[in-house]
Amino acid sequence: MTNGVELGKLSKFTWEAMRDPIYDYVEYNKEIEAKIIDTRVFQRLRRIKQLQLTYLVYPGAEHSRFQHSVGVMHLAGQFVSHLLSFLMRKLGESVLEGLSVESLIEGTRIAGLLHDIGHGPFSHMFEESILSSEVLKSKGLDNHEALGLMLIEYSEISRILKKAEEEYDLPHLYDIVKKILSDEEPREKILKLVRKTVKAWIYPSDIMDFLLRDSYYTGTKEYGAIDYQRLIRESYPVVVNDLYHNIAINRKALGALRSYFNSRVYMYEHVYLHPYNRSLSKLLKEVLRETDEILGLTEAVIKLGSGDPHDYIKLTDEYILAKLMDLVEGNKLNPETAEKVRALLNRRNPWKRIGGDYKIPLIATGLGHDPAILAYRYLKHWTMDLERFVKDTISEHCSGLIDPNDIWLDVNVLHPIPLAGLTSPTALYVTTITGMDMVDVKPLDMVAFMVREGIIPRIMVRVYVNRGSIKDSSALKRISEIVDKAITEFFNIRGIAGGITL
């Protein structure tokens, strides 16, 4: 359970195990973790699917946020125990900044368990359709992490954690959990380190588990095949020059890192951004926005922000789908929204992809600049320019064949580094481990590493048309040809036909 750290307090807990298809067995303690798992607010995650509507494309993808959260607890416990074991043997207990190793490990495990507790129904689709509103942004209620902290504070989970501090001699446990889960990086170096094992890191437990778990349940195990044990075992806190809040990877594990990066790209391209899945997600977001008021979605979030979690806890995938069925059968929606709901419930996708995937390489110059960072930061503006250009071209050459408003462009960045690493680049070091000594510790130039390993980030563009707007196959062929020429011309005009460079 503790992977090398001898812990008196945690070893006195009663440990049980649940079977898991990814790790065989996941251990949990009955004194704290089982009590959290058995709360209503956590059990709710059983009724929120991990991959939203992906089960309509990959039928096996019926797994839940509950399973993923338990898996993240498992990996985070292994990861943090390994890092702290090495750190304490090298620098002693003074490096813990007054926090106990037991509190840090148990706090990290619980943070892994609770990291997704704030997700609404359909997870990221709820975030993009409801939480992104200006009303909720102005109240600081615009992301699942903020809502998760509120659910912890306003539910019995906070009482369980505070009681455990006294009852099991785990000082600052509640504070550690909150600081790990907060959007803001903690000031304490030791908490900066342990936080990386859960989130806001290049290969945190969150991402490692969802790659393994999602690829297993979608039946695409070849895409999510990562050596998570090697990544954990060959990661070490940087114990030179007071940099122990950063992580170094052993040079001999760089192959596992390369495989991890490739797996992220493969899973995003073929599973998370599957074209049919993306178009269904667009439909779902429209339905959630149009039924927001009648379902009380924004209202439930605002109540949670005011300290009342009751209505938000009711919101699950099952709850929303049942309510939508009732609204349609009771003729309580306008005809346009009702038709969208029927299409969603009966898997009738209103969008048809035309052409293939347009993949624009983001070519690094080897100067230490990652063009994908720039592309990601300005993606929204860049997408608007491209969409305007395509629609103007259609208006000019396909007049009468289709309304440009019936064209939709889906643009995404395929990048091996997590988005947090794109917006706030994180230092990763590389080293050689000899016994307990770190030799030749250097920052790893991620751009140079990707170039050397042949990992090329890309922008991927897909174009869809509204099925109801197409009169015949010849018109569709003509529109597809014009769209293809428009996208090619857009790239050529900007001199990036061979890739975007810096």
Residue 424 scores a pLDDT above 70: no
Residue 118 scores a pLDDT above 90: yes
* Residues facing residue 466 across a β-bridge: 351
Q: Are 502 and 364 in contact, with CB atoms under 8 Å apart?
A: yes
Token pair listed for 227: 């050596």
Residue 4 scores a pLDDT above 90: no
Q: If pLDDT is split at 50, 70 and 90, which confidence band does 8 have?
A: low
Q: Specify the higher pLDDT residue, 406 or 42.
A: 42
**Residue-wise burial string across 253-263, b where 16 or more C-beta atoms lie within 10 A, e elsewhere:** bbebbbbbbbb
**Nearest alpha-carbon partner for 353 in 277, 419, 292:** 277
Task: Quote the pLDDT of residue 363.
Answer: 67
Q: Specify the higher pLDDT residue, 75 or 376.
A: 75
**Residue-wise burial string across 118-144, b where 16 or more C-beta atoms lie within 10 A, e elsewhere:** bbbbbbbbbbbbbbebeebeeeebbeb
Which stretch, 65-69, 431-435, 486-490, has highest mean pLDDT?
Answer: 65-69
pLDDT (average), residues 395-418: 86
pLDDT digits (tens, 9 = 90+) for 435-482: 889 999 999 988 788 888 888 888 899 999 998 888 777 888 888 899
pLDDT digits (tens, 9 = 90+) for 319-342: 999 999 999 999 999 999 999 999
Q: If pLDDT is split at 50, 70 and 90, which confidence band does 170 have?
A: very high
Task: Quote the pLDDT of residue 472.
Answer: 78
CATH 1.10.3210.10 residue window(s) in the chain: 8-278
Helix (H) or strand (E) holding 230: helix 228-233
CA 24 to chain centre: 24
Residue 378 scores a pLDDT above 70: no
pLDDT (average), residues 415-441: 79
**Nearest alpha-carbon partner for 470 in 392, 389, 353, 383:** 353
CATH 3.30.70 residue window(s) in the chain: 351-414+457-501
State pTM to two decimals: 0.94
CATH of domain 8-278: 1.10.3210.10
pLDDT digits (tens, 9 = 90+) for 26-69: 999 999 999 999 999 999 999 999 999 999 999 999 999 999 99
Q: If pLDDT is split at 50, 70 and 90, which confidence band does 498 have?
A: very low
Task: Quote the pLDDT of residue 404.
Answer: 85
Q: In what order do the strands lie in the sheet with 458-466?
A: 407-414, 458-466, 351-363, 500-501
Token pair listed for 131: 């939480």
Portion of the chain with pLDDT greater than 90, in percent: 70
From start to end of 189-246, where are the E strands?
235-237
160, 163, 167, 168 alpha-carbon torsion, rounded to 10°: 50
Task: Quote the pLDDT of residue 70.
Answer: 98
Amino acid at 362: L
Token pair listed for 382: 């860049």
Q: If pLDDT is split at 50, 70 and 90, which confidence band does 413 have?
A: confident
Q: Integer distance in angstroms from the first to the last C-alpha of the chain?
A: 47
CATH of domain 351-414+457-501: 3.30.70
Task: Quote the pLDDT of residue 367.
Answer: 47
What is the C-alpha separation between 444 and 237, in angstroms, rounded?
Answer: 14
- 3-state secondary structure at position 225: coil
Task: Quote the pLDDT of residue 361.
Answer: 82
Mean pLDDT of the chain: 90
Residue 421 scores a pLDDT above 60: no
Instruction: Give me the residue label for tokens 């309509």.
Output: 56
Task: Quote the pLDDT of residue 53.
Answer: 96
pLDDT (average), residues 139-156: 97
Q: Specify the higher pLDDT residue, 475 or 188.
A: 188
Instruction: Give me the residue label for tokens 């983001």.
Output: 362
pLDDT (average), residues 484-494: 82
